[in-house]
Amino acid sequence: MSHEQMGVRRTALTLARVNQKHGFDCPGCAWPDPDHRNAAEFCENGAKAVAEEATLRRVTPEFFAEHAIADLAERSDYWLGQQGRLVEPMYRPRGATHYEPIGWDAAFTLIADRLRALPTADAASFYTSGRTSNEAAFLYQLMVRRFGTNNLPDCSNMCHESSGSALSHSIGIGKGSVSLEDLYAADLIMVVGQNPGTNHPRMLSALEKAKKNGAHIVTINPLDEAGLRRFRNPQSPVGLLRGTELSDEFLQVRLAGDQALFAALAKLTVDAGAVDEEFVATYCSEYEEYVEHLGDLDWDQVVATTGLDRAQIEALAERYRNSERVIVCWAMGLTQHRDAVAAIQEITNLMLLRGNIGKPGAGLCPVRGHSNVQGDRTMGIWEKAPQSFLDALGTEFGFTPRADHGLDAVDTIRAMRSGDVRVFFGLGGNFVAATPDTAATAAAMSALDLTVQVSTKLNKSHAICGQEALILPCLGRTERDDQAAGPQVVSVEDSMGMVHVSRGRLDPAGEELLSEVAIVTRLAEKLLPAGEVDWAALRGDYDRIRDHIARVVPGFEDFNTRVQAPGGFALPHPPRDERVFPTATGKARFTVNELSGIEVPAGHLILQTLRSHDQFNTTIYGLDDRYRGIKAGRRVVFVNPDDLAELGFADGDHVDLISVWSDGERRAERFRVVAYETARGCAAAYFPETNVLVPLDAVAKVSNTPASKSVVVRLEASTASITP
Ligand SMILES: Nc1nc2c(c(=O)[nH]1)N[C@H]1C(S)=C(S)[C@@H](COP(=O)(O)OP(=O)(O)OC[C@H]3O[C@@H](n4cnc5c(=O)[nH]c(N)nc54)[C@H](O)[C@@H]3O)O[C@H]1N2
Ligand SMILES: Nc1nc2c(c(=O)[nH]1)N[C@H]1C(S)=C(S)[C@@H](COP(=O)(O)OP(=O)(O)OC[C@H]3O[C@@H](n4cnc5c(=O)[nH]c(N)nc54)[C@H](O)[C@@H]3O)O[C@H]1N2
Ligand SMILES: [Mo]
């Protein structure tokens, strides 16, 4: 596929430069690179992400003249992505049926005029997707805050927000506490609610090394995901290793059963007298309350909620207490549930019981998705940034940033719906397709006065757009970024808090393309009073942006020098580095959360919405899901064969999926049933197609993340004749 899109020579040149010392950071995922990089430290899915960006196809003004916006809105995400790279700024005037070309300067003037005409700065919301570089993100949030709002939703709100909420409370920092070296030194690694074979293929190499060093690997998932069981080295397209079983043990937990599972493991650890008393006494608070709460654990509820045997749980508890160094890794299988924050805090509780944090080979490892989603947060892309950050930003730039909280992703949709938000600006991403409740969100988006999308590729959010709309095409990470002071590099932060440079080398896809930094600074020049910030100087030389970052963000001192080091540098993490826990109690906090399962009426299933092997979020690379045996189709629903029999359906039937929620029913038509070994009572289907089923108000407590992995549905024989 890469060859077809990029041409053979370009493919070879491009792939050789992914994650190399003088190359660009892989846009595929946020998994870190080993110190001694393999000459071919890329993976099949990293290659697809690069090919998608380096494609030779172009979306030209002629294309937009040919295709009405209404026509584009009918196309699939797959078709839209296949059209190629966006190369010219495009504008939809109010009432127009088509996009037409517009000059950059006119585009920036138009956005600034519309923003300034709003009754309040809070009538605009500024979204970010996680590919944006540190430099662009920092300037973007500065511009937005200087404009006067904290409405800075980002893809994190739909992703690892639950991890951030849980960990900030419990250990005082919302980031994971392990490095790659820790993985190699662990005795026990639990991979919970994550499918690394597809979504973090380079993690498999790390797990393989950990296993060689003696780690025992346990996976906890409703699905027996292929990469973990039938591992092939992702470094090699054909697979160097044959048939290694990476995972030693598989616990087929029910959807949303993890909180109960980890509470049970904690209870068994306490009952066995295996608590690290010294660690708990020295570093933790609220232990007594927690142990008292564990005393009430109801085993019947645990078995019902997890779908696991008590004996299985006891065996894992024994393994846990006999392991000196334990790491728990997790991703969306934990974060996208109503009680996600509680489940992650339960994992933290278990880890605290035995001091599995702040020592080599142990710790908490939320595995981030987008390649710079963690860095964007560090740079202040956060609707509720801490006051210390706002103070430092204000001091550096001579203004007083607002201290109140802005809108996150879900609240942005609510505010669009109520008319309080009138302008949407997206720095990357595909808001309409990635967010829940597609019908409601699309209606809200279409009613806006203005939408602006800074993008590399065509997507649904260009087609389902505001009354006035702009598409601003930008450079991708693989491309050379020439500015006044010469070629520029940007920086990113991986999932383990390592910051390093990314240097694009390919010729830009079009002459008109601007970098994200250039787009933000040129808009800022039009929008904000002159003379406050020398935006042009920052645009000309990104070192100057990094000088500001060095003074504002803790851990970035001497940024320009340190980022040049091979492999970059590590950001401080007090719990990991020195067992310091900057929480409200000054200690690591045990947290009490009541167990409450999901109510599933008879005849219903819990549906999780997940990724196929052939997509990157809303970008669809192809229609197969090789690891799950699916060919040429995405409208499939995986259901346990026993559940199928009970419900009166069979493999190959076509069904509508109907989700039930307090405000009514939502329907997704015509999915092919696939009998599949998932946990009983659970089903799975791909997003974004199933986002129509996720109610806007079905969110995780505290984090407000859409609960897109626990949608209560029923199946109905499909009467729709054509596949939508
Ligand atoms: N190729 C590729 N790479 C990607 C992405 C991509 O789309 N394509 N997306 C990137 C992004 S933004 C992210 S956030 C990550 C996502 O990475 P993942 O979190 O691996 O992505 P999902 O496909 O959502 O898979 C969720 C996994 O959790 C399991 N699961 C679901 N619910 C539960 C539960 O209640 N309990 C447990 N224990 N398991 C559960 C599912 O069966 C599945 O294995 O990947 C990143 N990398
Ligand atoms: N039902 C359900 N919904 C989900 C999820 C789920 O598991 N289930 N997962 C959620 C998660 S974890 C996430 S992170 C979100 C993802 O939400 P988003 O980040 O909003 O979506 P993406 O599909 O990653 O965005 C793809 C678009 O980004 C643009 N793009 C790509 N590279 C660049 C770049 O370098 N610069 C710029 N400016 N634009 C670029 C392209 O135009 C492309 O079309 O979706 C969430 N939605
Ligand atoms: Mo994500």
Quickly state the pLDDT bin for 180 (edges 50, 70, 90): very high
- CA 53 to centroid of ligand 3, rounded, Å: 19
Average pLDDT over residues 55-77: 96
Whether residue 45 has its Cβ less than 6 Å from ligand 1 = yes
For the domain with range 162-367, which CATH number is right: 1.10.1270.20, 3.40.640.10, 3.40.228.10, 3.30.70.380? 3.40.228.10
Domain assignments of the chain as residue spans, ordered by start: 60-114+125-149+393-553, 162-367, 605-717
pLDDT > 90? residue 28: no
Residue-wise pLDDT for 595-650, tens only, equals 988 889 999 999 999 999 999 999 999 999 999 999 989 999 999 999 999 999 99
pLDDT > 80? residue 581: yes
Q: For residue 671, report the phi and psi dihedrals to the nearest 5 degrees.
A: -115, 140
pLDDT > 90? residue 35: no
Q: Which ligand is nearest to the CA of 705?
A: 2
Q: How far apart are CA 449 and CA 114, in angstroms?
A: 9
pLDDT > 60? residue 39: no
- CA 331 to centroid of ligand 1, rounded, Å: 6
Percentage, residues of the chain above pLDDT 90: 87
Whether residue 434 has its Cβ less than 6 Å from ligand 2 = yes
Strand 588-589 relative to strand 284-285: parallel, antiparallel, unpaired?
parallel
- CA 493 to centroid of ligand 3, rounded, Å: 15
- CA 247 to centroid of ligand 1, rounded, Å: 17
Most informative mutation of 155, 330, 480 for ligand 2 (most atoms within 8 A of CB): 155
Grouping H, G, I as helix, E, B as strand and the rest as coil, residue 501 is strand
Residue-wise pLDDT for 283-322, tens only, equals 999 999 999 999 999 999 999 999 999 999 999 999 999 9
Q: Residue whose CA is closest, atom 31 of ligand 2? A: 456
Q: Residue whose CA is closest, atom 21 of ligand 2? A: 429
> Which atom, in ligand 2's list, is nearest to the CA of 610?
7
Whether residue 154 has its Cβ less than 6 Å from ligand 1 = no
Whether residue 332 has its Cβ less than 6 Å from ligand 2 = yes
The number of beta carbons lying within 10 Å of the beta carbon of residue 114 is 18
Whether residue 195 has its Cβ less than 6 Å from ligand 2 = no
Percentage, residues of the chain above pLDDT 70: 93
Whether residue 190 has its Cβ less than 6 Å from ligand 1 = no
Residues whose CB falls within 8 Å of the CB of residue 635, separated by 6 or more in sequence, listed in order: 670, 671, 672, 685, 689, 723, 724
Distances (CA, A) of 407 to 127, 317, 410, 451: 10, 41, 8, 17
Residue-wise pLDDT for 350-370, tens only, equals 999 999 999 999 999 999 999
- CA 153 to centroid of ligand 2, rounded, Å: 13
Whether residue 305 has its Cβ less than 6 Å from ligand 1 = no
Quickly state the pLDDT bin for 709 (edges 50, 70, 90): very high
CA angle in degrees (0–180, nearest 5) for 605-610-611: 150
Whether residue 608 has its Cβ less than 6 Å from ligand 1 = yes
Quickly state the pLDDT bin for 280 (edges 50, 70, 90): very high
Helices (H) and strands (E) in the chain, counts: 32, 28
CA angle in degrees (0–180, nearest 5) for 478-484-485: 85
Q: How far apart are CA 199 and CA 679, in angstroms?
A: 21
- CA 129 to centroid of ligand 2, rounded, Å: 6
Q: Which ligand is nearest to the CA of 369?
A: 1
Q: Residue whose CA is closest, atom 39 of ligand 1? A: 193
- CA 473 to centroid of ligand 1, rounded, Å: 29
Q: Which ligand is nearest to the CA of 516?
A: 2
User: What does the pLDDT read at residue 3?
Assistant: 53
Residue 514 exposed, middle or buried by CB count within 10 Å (0-12, 13-18, 19+):
buried
Whether residue 628 has its Cβ less than 6 Å from ligand 1 = no
Whether residue 427 has its Cβ less than 6 Å from ligand 2 = yes
Q: How far apart are CA 42 and CA 16, in angstroms?
A: 8
Whether residue 115 has its Cβ less than 6 Å from ligand 1 = no
**CB-based burial, 22-50: b 16+ in 10 Å, e otherwise:** ebbbbbbbbbbbbeeeeeebbbbbbbbbb
Residue-wise pLDDT for 187-232, tens only, equals 999 999 999 999 999 999 999 999 999 999 999 999 999 877 655 5
> Which atom, in ligand 2's list, is nearest to the CA of 160?
12
Whether residue 85 has its Cβ less than 6 Å from ligand 2 = no
Whether residue 708 has its Cβ less than 6 Å from ligand 2 = yes
User: What does the pLDDT read at residue 41?
Assistant: 53
Fold of 605-717: Barwin-like endoglucanases (2.40.40)
- CA 707 to centroid of ligand 3, rounded, Å: 13
pTM for this prediction: 0.96
- CA 363 to centroid of ligand 3, rounded, Å: 21
For residue 317 the two structure tokens come to 């508890």
Whether residue 619 has its Cβ less than 6 Å from ligand 2 = yes
Quickly state the pLDDT bin for 279 (edges 50, 70, 90): very high
User: What does the pLDDT read at residue 36?
Assistant: 47
User: What does the pLDDT read at residue 40?
Assistant: 44
| H or E element at residue 492 | strand 490-493
- CA 226 to centroid of ligand 3, rounded, Å: 20
- CA 400 to centroid of ligand 2, rounded, Å: 32
Quickly state the pLDDT bin for 235 (edges 50, 70, 90): very low
Residue-wise pLDDT for 468-516, tens only, equals 999 999 999 999 999 999 999 999 999 999 999 999 999 999 999 999 9
Whether residue 619 has its Cβ less than 6 Å from ligand 1 = no
The residues whose Cβ lies within 5 A of ligand 3, an ion, are 159, 369
- CA 446 to centroid of ligand 1, rounded, Å: 30
Q: How far apart are CA 500 and CA 22, in angstroms?
A: 11
User: What does the pLDDT read at residue 37?
Assistant: 52
Q: How far apart are CA 327 and CA 171, in angstroms?
A: 15
Q: Residue whose CA is closest, atom 28 of ligand 2? A: 429
Whether residue 609 has its Cβ less than 6 Å from ligand 2 = yes
User: What does the pLDDT read at residue 698?
Assistant: 97
pLDDT > 70? residue 174: yes
CATH of domain 60-114+125-149+393-553: 3.40.50.740
User: What does the pLDDT read at residue 723?
Assistant: 57
Q: What is the dihedral of CA 621, 627, 629, 632, to 10 degrees?
A: 0
Q: Residue whose CA is closest, atom 16 of ligand 1? A: 369
